[in-house]
Structure 1
């Protein structure tokens, strides 16, 4: 038994040493632009990153950047998967904050990027809370804020918390607050950003080619290559063509849950142009 533990410790130590060597010999990325896709969980950020990574001038991280650096708090590690607003104090960073090792983050991300490309793209929903810090430390940073119907997002956050991460899933009130507060923080901080644009999930899924070409213009790039019709994309647990899944999610909500979302996130829904739904009949 003791020998098994010793071997496990040795494997971990060897893995850590190899990782540190890789970081040490990875050059610091120096792209023409860093691009950050930010927005609430379950808003389509993975889909958008997958689509944007097809541009010949863009190298996109194959996973969320906050998972592959030891410099940021991870929501899963503190028992708050998909729920960073519950500990906003641990995630929020502005240009006046210090702490994370910027060079190390760039190297950790650089190990997973094609550094020959002029544009490097990263997406992590918790980065919605640290856009101002990222702008200060990442050259020519451009931010794409992705927003999706709050009813569908709240349903998705609650559903995806169960059973793998949170027993019985997140209560709908906390999921709605994550959507509303997360977008509020991003909206407020966007006023300090030099290069920021909003994109709606509904526009992306309704006309992905047009949306991508608008983003190419925002980034000063040539238009995106034409998307093959009905191509399937693997997004987390499903593989499907690009389509708006809002109705599927909203259909799962009860009248009481809709009332709760309206109470917590109603103002934010209206801020982003989403119509309030009727819940409990009175």
Structure 2
């Protein structure tokens, strides 16, 4: 797979990375992970070099762990790491397709690391409304409030935004845009990856965010007040 160009996709848990990767993987030029037995077919579980997000606290917590933020200065940013990752991921990827897609949530804090290992790679960051992310993540993190999850969302996005200045090829995709016009978003990804368009679209749950936002607005908890965070959310284009 040394001739394949990597596209690394990342974003906070419940941001739509699994859905987008699944749709992107229907393109005949894209080699993705399918039926691997790993959770959500994520590349983070199909290698033995980089830690899993659970080792850094998992959903709603991982970005706070300094080691989760990997750059070109990381001790693992070596040619040997690149060789091992290609070898391990290559067991699951069709070598006859020009683009290799690797999706894992913690990638959003590893784009600089992967750019150093695999020059010429493309990076796709998936954003979704922080309240929708928080509400849908709580089934995995009942000990965390919506406010705490939104604060983690902001912390992670701030890190990713700062990293973006160091990336040669970064595309930001909003979950809301994917729901509104999936064909346009996927065509944009194809152009970004340098391949032809051609995707299979299934039925999408376009009302999920509205349900999460309505449920949050009906909630009683003072701990979930986000008033002082609205300015920071607005910088990323999201409002409550």
TM-score normalised per structure 2 = 0.87
Structure-2 separation of matches of 1:126 and 1:273: 22
Instruction: Point out the structure with max Rg over C-alpha.
Output: 1
Q: 1:42 aligns to what? A: 14
Compared CA separation, residues 106 and 170, structure 1 to 2 (3 A): farther
Corresponding residue to 1:64 among 17, 29, 42: 42
Instruction: Output aligned runs, 1:194-233, within 5 Å.
Output: 194-225=168-199, 227=201, 231-232=202-203
User: In the TM superposition, what whole-angstrom CA distance separates every residue of 1:1-20 from its partner, at most 9, and x where no partner exists?
Assistant: xxxxxxxxxxxxxxxxxxxx
Q: 1:235 aligns to what? A: none
Contact map agreement 2:131 2:146 (CA 8 A) in 1: no
Q: What is the total number of aligned residue pairs between the two structures? A: 229
Corresponding residue to 2:146 among 157, 172, 176: 172
Q: 1:260 aligns to what? A: 225
In the TM superposition, residue 44 of structure 1 has moved relative to its aligned partner by: 0.3
Q: 1:181 aligns to what? A: 155
Structure-1 separation of matches of 2:232 and 2:146: 16
Structure 2 gap segments, 5+ residues each: 35-40
In the TM superposition, residue 219 of structure 1 has moved relative to its aligned partner by: 1.7
TM-score normalised per structure 1 = 0.75
Structure-1 separation of matches of 2:127 and 2:61: 16
Structure 2 residue matching 1:198: 3-state secondary structure = strand
Q: 2:38 aligns to what? A: none
Runs of 4+ that moved beyond 4 A: none
Structure 2 residue matching 1:121: 3-state secondary structure = strand
Structure-2 separation of matches of 1:169 and 1:60: 34
Compared CA separation, residues 59 and 183, structure 1 to 2 (3 A): same
In the TM superposition, residue 79 of structure 1 has moved relative to its aligned partner by: 4.7
Corresponding residue to 1:111 among 85, 91, 97: 91
RMSD over aligned Cα, in angstroms? Answer: 2.0
User: In the TM superposition, what whole-angstrom CA distance separates every residue of 1:53-76 from its partner, at most 9, and x where no partner exists?
Assistant: 011100112311112222122232
Contact map agreement 1:38 1:45 (CA 8 A) in 2: yes
Structure 1 gap segments, 5+ residues each: 1-28, 162-167, 233-240, 278-282
Structure 2 residue matching 1:252: 3-state secondary structure = helix
Structure possessing the higher relative contact order (Cα contacts under 8 Å, 6 or more residues apart):
2
